[in-house]
Structure 1
Amino acid sequence: MKTYLIFFFLLIFSLMSKAQGTDTLYLWPDKVPGETGAKHPPVQTPNTSGEVTRLTDITDPAIMVFKPKGAANGAGIIVCPGGGYNILAIDKEGYEVAEWLNQLGFTAFVLQYRVPDKRDAALWDLQRALRLLRGQAADWQLDPDRLGVMGFSAGGSLAARASTRFSESTYTPVDKKDSLSSRPDFALLIYPAYLDEGKNRSLTPELRLSDDTPPQFLFGTADDRYGNSALVMAGALRDQKLPVTLHFLSEGGHGYGLRKGNIAAETWPGLAEKWLRQLLLKDNRQLIPR
């Protein structure tokens, strides 16, 4: 029994070490805006179906840092897991994606934003993360003008909101870092949800497009119950003559991450890599190692 317990705790420690990358940065130094309860660690739900780790009840938002093991390219991407704004599919749409981005030379930051049912607070958390990383760009050897966001499902909604509402003062500043820009330099929305909540399934009203809206990469499938979101967002960007790339497959469903065995999961990473390479090479700065 004693041997079993030692093995169990070593296994848990190993999994936690892998999941946490190299560093965990908490977003709010003192009181978390909008929170009435005390800060505490995220709660893992008992539901592990689909071999997915789900977190909820987040009161102390954080970003978990994943640094490339090889050459870094100087760009960073904040990864926003999905989960219907109720939970975070933290491994399938967070840690695993971060490790893939590391292989491309990106420094990845997995965002633990507030859930459940805290859409406004989730936006504040992402905006704060963008500002915090810009303020500490030198610490992570990042170009502060090469900081993007990537989101899945509800995380795609969150990334779209951050990409269209960066000119707003959504929360009361807490320190000097809040004077920095919260505009992502680019956004990747993978099977995004909730972007078509306008009249007759049109663009969600809070998504306000402008000439400063950053370039967008969208991926979805026809058999996804939220598939209209990607189509509506891409159409709205196109109508405004804003840079957008849309890929849409006939099948793949929803919530596949980049795990093997699903045609959509095996397709979007290569397309996203190509898009990132083309986008970040436009100014002749080669940011993705060949």
Structure 2
Amino acid sequence: MKQLCTILMMLGLNVVVNAQKKTTIHLWPDTVPDESAAKHAAVVTPDTSNNIVRLTDVTDPILEVFPASSKNRNGKAVVICPGGGYAILAINHEGYEVAEWLNKLGYTAFVLQYRVPKKESGALQDAQRAMRIVRSRAAEWKLDPDKIGMLGFSAGGSLTARASTRYNEPTYTPVDKADSASAKPNFSVLIYPAYLDKGPGNSLTPELLVDAQTPPAFLFATADDPYANSALVMAAALRNAKVNVEQHLYPKGGHGYGLRTNNAAGATWPLLLEKWLVSIGY
């Protein structure tokens, strides 16, 4: 954590103070399921291009808690899944910066460091466990346990979609009382999601079990994003299942812009998402 905060400070990012004060929750108190490597802090890669801090080699998954201020707290929460191709986590760009924005709207934010690299099964276990921990401890953060959503970018969008459609699947042996809570997000937000079109002919990825019980979803992508088809096929599946879904396909912006306003797409989706959350009561 000390190394991470130092890098954030070197990059001049204003989330450093929050990053230093936040609470850290280790998802797995003892053995991490299906993990052979020893627990240790995530490794910060030397690549800080575009002012992005990239983490890898996550063997001890954690939730970093960013409580909303008592002045504007709305009793709702969002678990944030940064992207990075299931290889790294763009932890500040698609994690801390988003948490800071959500805090301003009154949401308590939880940034998830899920297992990477290339540990997709472990990542789903981490996402399910994270949702259960947040829901089981909702009173601690003055949250409504029925108003906890998940937001993901790129591979984090893939993970969010998987968590939102496979929440009833037992992927690990229960650890404690927290695992009696539901792993189902109350809503999902997929921002330039990837890997959702791995079915035949670029159709919906077979593991995504979309049905009428899938939570409401907001999707945003751009037409010039090479992964844009993921959002299109997921939105179509949700619509066909009669799920509350809102999709936006912006003309330009590419991929990986987060909410940084030097990209028009990055400046647009937060405004649209805020309106959608109000419209569905979250």
What's the counterpart of residue 49 of structure 2?
49
Instruction: Quote how far apart the aligned CAs of 1:16 are.
Output: 5.4
Once the two structures are superposed, residues 25-61 of structure 1 have per-residue CA deviations (whole angstroms, 9 ceiling, x without a partner) of 1101101111112111110000111110000001110
Please report the TM-score for the alignment, with normalisation by the length of structure 1.
Answer: 0.91
Q: Could you report, residue by residue, the CA deviation over 1:134-170 in whole angstroms, capped at 9, with x for unpaired residues?
A: 1111101011000000000000000000000011111
Structure 1 spans left out of the alignment, 5+ residues: 1-7, 281-286
Asked if 2 retains the 8 angstrom alpha-carbon contact of 1:28 and 1:61, the reply is: yes
CA distance in 1: counterparts of 2:134 and 2:9, whole angstroms: 31
Distance between the aligned counterparts of 1:33 and 1:264, measured in 2?
38
Q: In structure 2, do the counterparts of structure 1 residues 17 and 235 end up closer, same or farther at CA, with 3 Å as the change threshold?
A: same
Query: What secondary structure does 1:64 align onto?
Result: strand
Number of aligned residues:
273
SS at match of 1:276: helix
Q: 1:261 to 1:175 in 2, by over 3 A?
A: same
Q: For residues 100 and 51 of structure 1, what CA distance do their matches in structure 2 show?
A: 17
What is the Cα-based RMSD across aligned positions, in Å? 1.7
Q: Which residue of 2 is the match for residue 5 of structure 1? A: none
Asked if the contact 1:221/1:250 (under 8 Å) is kept, the reply is: yes
Quote the residue 2:233 is aligned against: 232
1:34-73 equivalences in 2 (<5 Å): 34-69=34-69, 70-73=71-74
Contact 1:161 1:206 in 2 (8 A): yes
Compared CA separation, residues 11 and 88, structure 1 to 2 (3 A): closer
Partner of 1:119: 120
Task: Look up the match of 2:106.
Answer: 105
Which structure 2 segments of 5+ residues have no match?
A: 1-5
- Give yes or no for contact 2:15–2:97 (8 Å, CA) kept in 1: no
Identity %: 60
Q: Are the aligned partners of 2:87 and 2:116 in contact in 1 as well (CA < 8 Å)?
A: yes
What is residue 191 of structure 1 aligned with on the other side? Answer: 192
Structure 2 matches for 1:138-153, cutoff 5 A? 138-153=139-154
Q: Does 1:259 align with 2:260?
A: yes
CA deviations over 1:215-252 (Å, ceiling 9, x no partner): 00000000001000000000111111111100111111
TM-score with structure 2 length normalisation? Answer: 0.93
Aligned partners of 1:20 and 1:65 also within 8 Å: no
For the residue of structure 2 that corresponds to 1:149, the secondary structure is strand
Mapped to 1, the partners of 2:93 and 2:144 lie a distance apart of 27
Q: Which residue of 1 aligns with 2:247?
A: 246
On the 8 A contact 1:21/1:64 being kept in 2, the answer is no
Partner of residue 275, structure 2: 274
Q: Tell me the CA shift for residue 19 of structure 1.
A: 2.2
1:81-103 Cα deviation digits (max 9, x unpaired): 00000000000000000000001
> Partners of 1:253 and 1:225 in 2: how far apart?
8
